[in-house]
Structure 1
Amino acid sequence: MARPLSRPRNRRLRALAVPLGLALAAALGFLPSAAGATPRAGGPLLSYVVNTVPGHATVAKVERAIGRAGGTVVTAHERIGVIVAHAADPRFAAGIRTVPGVQSAGATRTAPLRQSGTDDVGKPQRITEAQRAAAERTARATGEEPLEPLQWDIRAIRADLAAKVNPGSRKVTVAVIDTGVDDTHPDLKPNFSARQSANCVGGVPDTSPGAWRPYDPVTDAHGTHVAGTIAAARNGVGVTGVAPGVRVSALKVSEPGTGLFYAESVVCAFVFAADHHVQVTNNSYYVDPWMFNCKDDADQAAIVDAVGRAAKYAQDRGVVNVAAAGNANADLAADKLTDTASPNDSTPVNRTVDPTRCWDVPTQLPGTVTVAATGSHRLKSGYSNYGLGQIDVAAPGGDTRQVPEPPAKNGNVLSTIPGGDWAFYAGTSMASPHVAGVAALLKSTHPKASPQEIRWLLKQQADNPGCPTGDATCTGTRYVNSHFGYGIVDALNAVTE
Structure 2
Amino acid sequence: MILAIYMEIIMAKASNTNRKPVIITFKPKDKRSTSKDKQEILASAIDDGDINFVTAETVSRQARPVASGEDLMKVGYDVNRYEAPILMANLTQAEIDKLKKDKNVVRVEEDGEMHALDGPDALAQTTPVGITQVKAPAAWPSSQGEGIKVFICDTGIDSDHPDLVANLRTGKSFVPTESSTEDFHGHGTHCAGTVAAVHNNIGVVGVAPYAYLYPVKVLSSTGSGQWSWLIAALDWIMSKKGARVASMSLGGGGAPQALGDMCEAAYDDGVLLVAAAGNSGPGNNTVGFPAKYPHVMAISAVDSADIIAGFSSRGPEVEVCAPGVSVLSTTRGGGYGTMSGTSMACPHVSGVAALAWGSHRSCTNKQVRWLLNTFVDKVGDQDPEKYGKGRVDANASSFWIGTPPEHTL
**Structures share fold, TM-score greater than 0.5:** yes
Structure 1 residues 29, 386: closer, same or farther in 2, change over 3 A?
Answer: closer
Deviates more, 1:158-167 or 1:369-378: 158-167
Say whether the 8 Å CA contact 2:10–2:89 is kept in structure 1: no
Whichever residue aligns with residue 188 of structure 1, its letter is L
Partner of 1:163: 140
SS in 1 for 2:262: helix
Q: Within 2, Cα distance between the matches of 1:231 and 1:54?
A: 40
Partner of 1:86: 90
Partner of 2:361: 447
Per the TM alignment, residue 183 of structure 1 is displaced from its structure 2 partner at its CA by 2.1
Gaps of 5+ in 1: 1-27, 33-38, 111-115, 136-149, 294-302, 338-358, 399-411, 468-473, 476-480
Q: 1:314 aligns with which of 263, 266, 270?
A: 266
Is 2:327 the counterpart of 1:379? no
Q: 2:100 aligns with which of 80, 86, 97?
A: 97
Whichever residue aligns with residue 224 of structure 2, its letter is L
Partner of 1:75: 77
Whichever residue aligns with residue 213 of structure 1, its letter is E
Q: Within 1, Cα distance between the matches of 2:248 and 2:109?
A: 23
Say whether the 8 Å CA contact 1:198–1:252 is kept in structure 2: yes
Correspondences of 1:212-231 after superposition (within 5 Å): 212-214=181-183, 216=184, 220-231=185-196
Q: 2:220 aligns with which of 255, 267, 280?
A: 255
Is 2:169 the counterpart of 1:236? no
Per the TM alignment, residue 65 of structure 1 is displaced from its structure 2 partner at its CA by 2.1
Is 2:158 the counterpart of 1:182? yes
Say whether the 8 Å CA contact 1:46–1:109 is kept in structure 2: no
Q: Within 2, Cα distance between the matches of 1:276 and 1:60?
A: 31
Partner of 2:406: none
Per the TM alignment, residue 166 of structure 1 is displaced from its structure 2 partner at its CA by 1.7
Structure 1 residues 152, 326: closer, same or farther in 2, change over 3 A?
Answer: same
Structure 1 residues 55, 76: closer, same or farther in 2, change over 3 A?
Answer: farther
Deviates more, 1:160-169 or 1:362-371: 160-169
Say whether the 8 Å CA contact 1:199–1:251 is kept in structure 2: yes
Q: Within 2, Cα distance between the matches of 1:378 and 1:109?
A: 34
Q: Deviations along 1:340-370, whole A, 9 cap, x unmatched?
A: xxxxxxxxxxxxxxxxxxx722111121111
Gaps of 5+ in 2: 1-7, 54-75, 401-409
Correspondences of 1:277-288 after superposition (within 5 Å): 277=241, 278-286=243-251
Correspondences of 1:89-168 after superposition (within 5 Å): 89-109=92-112, 118-123=116-121, 150-168=127-145
Per the TM alignment, residue 43 of structure 1 is displaced from its structure 2 partner at its CA by 4.2
Q: Within 1, Cα distance between the matches of 2:359 and 2:154?
A: 26
Whichever residue aligns with residue 153 of structure 2, its letter is I
Partner of 2:397: 494
Say whether the 8 Å CA contact 1:174–1:440 is kept in structure 2: yes
SS in 2 for 1:378: coil
Deviates more, 1:240-249 or 1:322-331: 322-331
Structure 1 residues 228, 43: closer, same or farther in 2, change over 3 A?
Answer: same
Per the TM alignment, residue 233 of structure 1 is displaced from its structure 2 partner at its CA by 0.7
Q: Deviations along 1:306-335, whole A, 9 cap, x unmatched?
A: 1112212211111000011111114444xx
Structure 1 residues 202, 308: closer, same or farther in 2, change over 3 A?
Answer: farther
Q: Within 2, Cα distance between the matches of 1:242 and 1:457?
A: 16
Per the TM alignment, residue 276 of structure 1 is displaced from its structure 2 partner at its CA by 0.8
Per the TM alignment, residue 77 of structure 1 is displaced from its structure 2 partner at its CA by 5.1
Correspondences of 1:327-406 after superposition (within 5 Å): 327-333=279-285, 360-387=288-315, 389-398=316-325
Partner of 1:7: none
Say whether the 8 Å CA contact 1:42–1:90 is kept in structure 2: no
RMSD of Structure 2 on Structure 1 (CA): 2.8
Structure 1 residues 418, 466: closer, same or farther in 2, change over 3 A?
Answer: closer
Partner of 1:292: 253
Q: Within 2, Cα distance between the matches of 1:107 and 1:423?
A: 36
Whichever residue aligns with residue 392 of structure 2, its letter is V
Say whether the 8 Å CA contact 2:19–2:93 is kept in structure 1: no
Q: Within 1, Cα distance between the matches of 2:98 and 2:223?
A: 30
Structure 1 residues 489, 453: closer, same or farther in 2, change over 3 A?
Answer: same
SS in 1 for 2:40: helix
Is 2:37 the counterpart of 1:61? yes
Per the TM alignment, residue 236 of structure 1 is displaced from its structure 2 partner at its CA by 1.9
Whichever residue aligns with residue 216 of structure 2, its letter is L
SS in 1 for 2:118: strand
Whichever residue aligns with residue 495 of structure 1, its letter is S
Say whether the 8 Å CA contact 1:181–1:223 is kept in structure 2: yes
Partner of 1:461: 375
Q: Within 1, Cα distance between the matches of 2:115 and 2:22?
A: 22
Structure 1 residues 263, 421: closer, same or farther in 2, change over 3 A?
Answer: same
Q: Within 2, Cα distance between the matches of 1:54 and 1:183?
A: 40
Structure 1 residues 60, 496: closer, same or farther in 2, change over 3 A?
Answer: farther
Aligned residues: 362
Whichever residue aligns with residue 304 of structure 1, its letter is P
More strand by share: 2
Whichever residue aligns with residue 87 of structure 2, its letter is I
Say whether the 8 Å CA contact 2:146–2:358 is kept in structure 1: yes
Q: Deviations along 1:80-138, whole A, 9 cap, x unmatched?
A: 41112223x2222222122232111123149xxxxx8532122366x5xxx6xxx5xxx
Is 2:31 the counterpart of 1:52? no
SS in 1 for 2:292: coil
Say whether the 8 Å CA contact 1:30–1:45 is kept in structure 2: no
